[in-house]
Amino acid sequence: MDTAGDPQPPITRRATPRTVLMCRPDHFTVSYKINPWMDPAAPTDTAKAVAQWQVLYDTYVGLGHDVHLIDPIDGLPDMVYAANGGFVVDGKAYGALFTYPERQPEGPAYMDWFREAGFDVAVPDEINEGEGDLLLVGDVVLAGTGFRTSTRSHDEVARVFGREVVGLTLVNPAFYHLDTAIAVLDPEPVEGRQNIAYLESAFDAASLEVLRERFPDAILVDEDDAAILGLNSYSDGYNVVIAARATGFERQLRERGYNPIGVDLSELLLGGGGVKCCTLDLRR
Ligand code: ARG
């Protein structure tokens, strides 16, 4: 069930224009396997990936978001998943230090972009995959661990940003990044609160307890929607760009007064990523 108790009075949702970074998948393919979604033997279609990505880009522009682009680099097929490129809050960009060697060159490439764009760059000492595992909700950073980002990096994030960091442990390899298991629905507070959606089975018991306590009104997404990375979505507080096939999540969002917008990123799903993976928040 996704509703708790009695019907709530309707909340007026408000879209806030966002500034994001994206990377066109000109060199996208699946040539190695670092998550269960990836199968290097299965064919990929780079032109189709670009066409699907372009729809996401156009959707953001149509919603009034300010979309910046980083140049894709040949030989870095996962660079399209810009969320992993860093974690940017208050004009400060904490760089990524990737778990697997195949993606490690992306860290410096994104840090160069942040510097050139005028962000104050914090070079990481600890393994982390940026906003894939670090989600800002209000003043708090929800920080994933278990598959990629280390708990030592959670401490580093707390030091760099002077914010509370809440560690959450992921237990299912299909949901290896926090942004595959949690969607932040309210980038700004609504009536003093910010809500999330999540997949309960993706977390260990202690983390679940934390989530239930902090987010009693959260949308609980079902396994079918999560299994197509439906949670890997991007909200401006009203419009929520989601995987078009996540029809249950779409209905849950509508019931809460959000405006879900479906896109098809089936080709990028072959690399284990969806809408949010392709989107890095740039918060000045
Ligand atoms: N193939 C990429 C990897 O496994 C996909 C990254 C998806 N990004 C995300 N923010 N969940 O690293």
CA–CA separation, 139 vs 162, rounded Å? 10
Asked if 112 contacts 85 with a C-beta cutoff of 8 angstroms, the reply is no
Q: Which residues contact 67 (CB under 8 A, 6 or more apart)?
A: 19, 20, 21, 22, 57, 60, 61
Question: Closest ligand 1 atom, CA of 273?
Answer: 7
At residue 4 the predicted structure's pLDDT band, cuts being 50, 70 and 90, is low
pLDDT value for 148? 98
DSSP result, 109-130: HHHHHHHHTT-EEE--SS-B-G
How far does the centroid of ligand 1 lie from the alpha carbon of residue 269, in Å?
9
Residue nearest to atom 7 of ligand 1 (CA): 273
The answer, yes or no, to whether residue 1 has pLDDT greater than 70, is no
pLDDT value for 11? 83
How far does the centroid of ligand 1 lie from the alpha carbon of residue 107, in Å?
13
Q: What is the mean pLDDT of the chain?
A: 96
How far does the centroid of ligand 1 lie from the alpha carbon of residue 176, in Å?
8
State mean pLDDT over 144-153: 98
Among 3-7, 17-21, 163-167, the range scoring the smallest mean pLDDT is 3-7
Residue numbers annotated as active site: 177, 277
Which domains are seen in the chain, by residue range? 19-281 (3.75.10.10)
